[in-house]
Structure 1
């Protein structure tokens, strides 16, 4: 198995977990927060998708799906146009309200498709390319792809856990 295949497998696993977290979810659980400082399932899935969209589009030199495919307008959130959820406090988390899991899945699936198209076109040697020199050490494409993957898995796990807590409550 080559490096690209490993990355594709990782992103496919994220996709499966996102679909599992939202499949058949009671829509009233999407926006429920355990307390004022907690995230909702909707925010967690939106955030992990926005980060993947933002970071992959930047690395690939593409426009974010959020803008290119009109998802920003479909969500209609009262947030800045390029918000990804990074640094969000309780008020911004509360502003991410989604009443239909299909909206989250549609956006995620479009971002996932763009991610896979990009990743499948990579060669091992391109993973060493520095894409962000604002960090010490500078961030390579490979490190960024693994970072997004790790972040996505963490947040989808949180969403699945939260859904379980809400369904048992």
Structure 2
């Protein structure tokens, strides 16, 4: 297995786990949260996908899935390619009302693009500079490293929130 193949395998495994976490949830479950100061599961997963979409588009130079697939229309929000769900107020977070269907669809579309991008990244690409959402640049290797960390943190949050909402047993035996 090539080094980037490890990332591809991890992303595929994570996609199955997050898909399982969404199975059986209602759209109303997506906006529930354990405390008034916490982000809900639906927003957390949407933010995770938006950041992944933004980073991967910076690496492969292609349009984001968000706009290319008109996902912004499906979610009922502006097409702003730089709206990643960062630095939003809790009021803004709670105004966002995703559906399970749209979250699954968008996350699957982003994942497909991510896996294709990882398949095409060469060792030389890892030193190429790309934009950083906070400003400035970073290398592709740094961007992928940060994306992996961010992605799996949020997947853990999503699966925790699933357990919080429905209790033990959702993961299976």
Per the alignment, in what secondary structure is the counterpart of residue 34 of structure 1? coil
Q: How many pairs align?
A: 165
Corresponding position of 1:147: 146
- Please give the alpha-carbon distance, in whole angstroms, between the structure 2 residues aligned to 1:31 and 1:102: 14
Report the CA distance between 1:80 and its aligned residue. 6.9
Corresponding position of 1:54: 54
Corresponding position of 1:87: 87
Q: Which runs of 5+ in 2 are unaligned?
A: 168-173
- Please give the alpha-carbon distance, in whole angstroms, between the structure 2 residues aligned to 1:68 and 1:132: 20
Corresponding position of 2:100: 101
Q: TM-score, normalised by structure 2?
A: 0.86
- Please give the alpha-carbon distance, in whole angstroms, between the structure 1 residues aligned to 2:89 and 2:125: 36
Corresponding position of 1:166: 165
Per the alignment, in what secondary structure is the counterpart of residue 31 of structure 2? coil
- Please give the alpha-carbon distance, in whole angstroms, between the structure 1 residues aligned to 2:24 and 2:76: 23
Runs of 4+ residues over 6 Å off in structure 1:
none
Corresponding position of 2:64: 64
Corresponding position of 2:128: 129
Corresponding position of 1:156: 155
- Please give the alpha-carbon distance, in whole angstroms, between the structure 2 residues aligned to 1:9 and 1:68: 25
Report the CA distance between 1:5 and its aligned residue. 0.8
Per the alignment, in what secondary structure is the counterpart of residue 84 of structure 2? coil
The reply to whether residue 44 of structure 1 matches residue 59 of structure 2 is no
Q: Which runs of 5+ in 1 are unaligned?
A: none
Report the CA distance between 1:144 and its aligned residue. 0.7
- Please give the alpha-carbon distance, in whole angstroms, between the structure 2 residues aligned to 1:17 and 1:139: 30
Alpha carbons 1:21, 1:163 under 8 Å: kept = yes
